[in-house]
Structure 1
Amino acid sequence: MTKRSEVGSQMELSLEELIKIWKARFEKNMNRHEGLEWADVQAKLEANPEKLWSLHEMERTGGEPDVVGHDAKTGEYLFYDCSAESPKGRRSVCYDREALESRKEHKPENSAVEMAAAMGIELLTEEQYRELQKLGTFDTKTSSWVVTPARIRKLGGALFCDRRYDTVFVYHNGADSYYAARGFRGSLRV
């Protein structure tokens, strides 16, 4: 699927199948969204087809998106990638376009920032990543790029997080680095 405007016609899974998957995940993981009702989430999803495309992309790339909150001011539901490990379809990427272009050889196919933008989602911030880790245990074997402050990025670095020893760690690496076990997690407001 390449265009957001083609939501209903070219999704790998039908809308009905996706809704079933998301509803089952929602009901199985009520600790992530206590006090929220699936019917309200589904109504919001059905009213926002462009967001359905992005959510489908999160699912297609292995993110297992789920509702992790509700913004009472805007009425939006917040989805994060809740796969146990960094989404498989988004690994082996450097941080951003600048990092990708700076590599002279052995370039990865893409960057986290560009993939997220193409999917219509945002990379998790460090704060969001820590909030996610309060809802379960994630990235015990992998790591995930997170939004990097401009001052760090300007110096060539980028941040990533993981969970080891029952503790969330934030690390740095050259933004042009990439590893088979490092991807990125995203968020989407619907």
Structure 2
Amino acid sequence: MAKKLSPEQHEGLLHTLRARFEKNMNRHTGLEWADVQAKLVANPEKLWSLHEMEITSGEPDVVGHDNQTGEYIFYDCSAESPKGRRSICYDREALDSRKEHKPKNNAVEMANAMGIELLTEEQYRELQKLGNFDMKSSSWVVTPASIRKLGGALFCDRRYDTVFVYHNGAESYYGARGFRGSLRV
């Protein structure tokens, strides 16, 4: 699969990202769209990843800037876990362990194919400081190797005005559980 956008997709995505950026200035106080756009135009492979985030209903937006590297940080900012990434188990090992009723995919491989990273628990909690996310859904997050080795995986959501981290068998999947990603540009 070519990881390049058509000129129409390129322009459409920049327009969408700019509109979202301007509508949600609380997520990136002090940052300027022109600077973000210049980085995006200079990194077409990152723009392709943002397009993948967008077409799976992630609604990516800038949530920070790394002053040391100069990179802008994007997270999926959809109100609920992205619809195009739900009903999936945690990783390939979990997917392969299911004998029947297998989900179509897994979070780790989907993120890799999109060129993004799953949010860590810490990143998920940072996202929740910017708004109320996953009030009805939940999202897989990076799971420590010690937990994964024992067959588990972690996911988070927001209920009762509190961010929770839970565990489940990594092979489990639910219609309301997907994953959120991050991308540095």
TM-score (norm. length: structure 2): 0.98
Match 2:169 to one of 174, 178, 182? 174
- 1:8 aligned onto 2:2: no
Aligned to 1:62: 57
TM-fit CA distance, 1:15? 1.0
Q: Distance in 2 between matches of 1:130 and 1:8?
A: 32
2:146 is equivalent to residue 151 of structure 1: yes
1:164-184 Cα deviation digits (max 9, x unpaired): 000000000000000000000
Q: Deviations over 1:83-102 (max 9, x none)?
A: 00000000000000000000
Unaligned 5+ runs, structure 1:
none
1:75 aligned partner: 70
SS at match of 1:14: helix
Superposed CA RMSD in Å reads: 0.9
What amino acid maps onto 1:59 in structure 2? Answer: E
**May I ask how many residue pairs the two structures share in their alignment?**
185
Q: Does 1:115 align with 2:114?
A: no
1:49 pairs with 2:48:
no
For residues 60-118 of structure 1, the C-alpha deviation after alignment (integer angstroms, 9 at most, x for no partner) is: 00000000000000000000000000000000000000000000100000000000000
Code of the aligned partner of 2:2: K
Percent identity over the alignment is 82
Matches of 1:73 and 1:58, distance apart in 2: 25
> Post-superposition shift, 1:17?
1.1
Say whether residues 1:189 and 2:179 are aligned partners: no
Q: 1:141 aligns with which of 136, 143, 155?
A: 136
Where has structure 1 moved over 3 Å in runs of 4 or more? none
